[in-house]
Amino acid sequence: MSKRIIAALCLLCLLLSGCGKETGPASGTFFAMNTVINLTIYPTKNGATPEEVLTEAETLLGTLEKNLSVTDPEAPLSAVNRDGWGTVPIETGEVAAEALRLCDWTGGALDVTLYPVSLAWGFTTENHRVPPREELDALLEHVDYRRAAVAFLPEEQTAEISLPDGMEMDLGAVAKGYAGNRLRALLLERMGEDLHALLDLGGNVVALGGRPDGDPWRVGIRDPENTDGLLGVLGAYDAAVITSGGYERYFEENGVRYWHILDPATGEPARSGLKSVTVVGSPADGMTCDALSTALFVMGLEKAAEFWRDNTGFELILVSDDGGVTITEGLRDSFSLSSGHGEATVLERQ
């Protein structure tokens, strides 16, 4: 082939790939933090390309996985859990400190020191079993987020976490929400403000901006009864949409289903009358929404409604054991139930 033809072909490739970058989105699927992560990013006028940002996002997710994991024996939090004390990257300390604050805010419905109890049920190891009551009572003696402490050493960019004897910390209830916050910050920094992106971290969704045509993103909310189906669709523009459900991780024994969201009061799977809780909030508050989805699942419908009335900045979709759906008034116009689910009850602030 002549040099001229090769040059012409190269130019054509360059033009075609250039066109792609200007008009089309880039998508990436990664497995990190024990979940499948799907990112769809549209190009912006004056920023890094979606392809570049996807590569950076994958690197970031790898770092976050390490900094927040409890299952990886090499992770800093694993050392803290083994020794009761340890120096961790400042990020691990910041997430732990914020998580402890969220435990307090939810009156202990969220308790990130439940890990020994989760381990006894085998939820992280897949060695599922129903621990006897005495075993749970003994383990619960060590569960109390108020006794965990985080101290910061900003000059070294590290933190120290200390836990009393027998206590272990697990940031699983907030890690994906935090990861969403960090991915959003990466996109803002590298691509500018005019973002159109959908970040899906295993069902924890962050919608940035709307779709490029100006419509909101359409985020499907899973039906906890039939997880292949949709409960409904939420129109989301700049929002975090975070769901906790008993269907996400569970095992069955003698016809009873045991799921991974535990009630810190009993050490048993939370049976509060709710099957799933979706929290919708600002995309900058993904970690808070993640903490709330877990905590409100533990609280149940009435306490969750009370908590929502006492606080601002988030809306809810709650599915009860009988299939009834309750939404808060801020979602009245943006959430539509799929057919066959009847009408949602709308909670008002009064």
Residue with the CB atom nearest Mg ion in the bound state: 294
Q: Binding ligand AMP by CB under 6 A: which of 32, 39, 77, 114? A: 114
53 — phi, psi (to 5°)?
-70, -35
293 contacts ligand AMP (rule: CB under 6 A): yes
Nearer to ligand AMP, 65 or 290 (CB): 290
Q: Binding Mg ion by CB under 5 A: which of 168, 223, 285, 290? A: 290
Closest Cα partner for 240 from 282, 178, 299? 282
Nearer to Mg ion, 99 or 119 (CB): 99
114 contacts Mg ion (rule: CB under 5 A): no
Count residues binding Mg ion (CB under 5 A): 5
Query: Which positions from 32 through 91 interact with ligand AMP, judged by CB under 6 A?
Result: none
- 274-281 and 239-245 as β-strands: parallel, antiparallel, unpaired? antiparallel
d(CA 165, CA 82): 10
Is the sign of the CA dihedral 203, 208, 209, 213 positive or negative?
A: negative
Number of Cβ within a 10 Å radius of residue 138:
15
Build a one-symbol-per-residue string for 160-189: x at contacts with ligand AMP by CB under 6 A, - elsewhere.
----------x-xx----------------
Tokens of 107: 């009156």
112 contacts ligand AMP (rule: CB under 6 A): yes
Build a one-symbol-per-residue string for 166-185: x at contacts with Mg ion by CB under 5 A, - elsewhere.
-------x------------
d(CA 301, CA 306): 9
Build a one-symbol-per-residue string for 259-288: x at contacts with Mg ion by CB under 5 A, - elsewhere.
------------------------------
Residues 6+ apart with CB under 8 A from 347: 305, 308, 309, 316, 326, 327, 328, 329
Number of Cβ within a 10 Å radius of residue 315:
22
Build a one-symbol-per-residue string for 227-246: x at contacts with ligand AMP by CB under 6 A, - elsewhere.
-----------------x--
290 contacts ligand AMP (rule: CB under 6 A): yes
Tokens of 190: 């590298």
Number of Cβ within a 10 Å radius of residue 164:
13
293 contacts Mg ion (rule: CB under 5 A): yes
d(CA 210, CA 199): 12
Q: Binding ligand AMP by CB under 6 A: which of 298, 299, 317, 331? A: 298
Partners of residue 190 on adjacent β-strands: none
CB of 198 to ligand AMP, least distance (A): 19
Contact 206, 187 (CB under 8 A): no
d(CA 210, CA 194): 10
CB of 94 to ligand AMP, least distance (A): 17
| 248-to-20, 195, 261 alpha-carbon distances in Å | 37, 30, 9
260 contacts ligand AMP (rule: CB under 6 A): yes
CB of 260 to ligand AMP, least distance (A): 4
Residues lying near ligand AMP in the complex (CB under 6 A) are found at 110-112, 114, 118, 123, 170, 172-173, 244, 248, 260-262, 264, 290, 293-294, 298
Residues at the contact surface with Mg ion, assessed by CB under 5 A = 173, 244, 290, 293-294
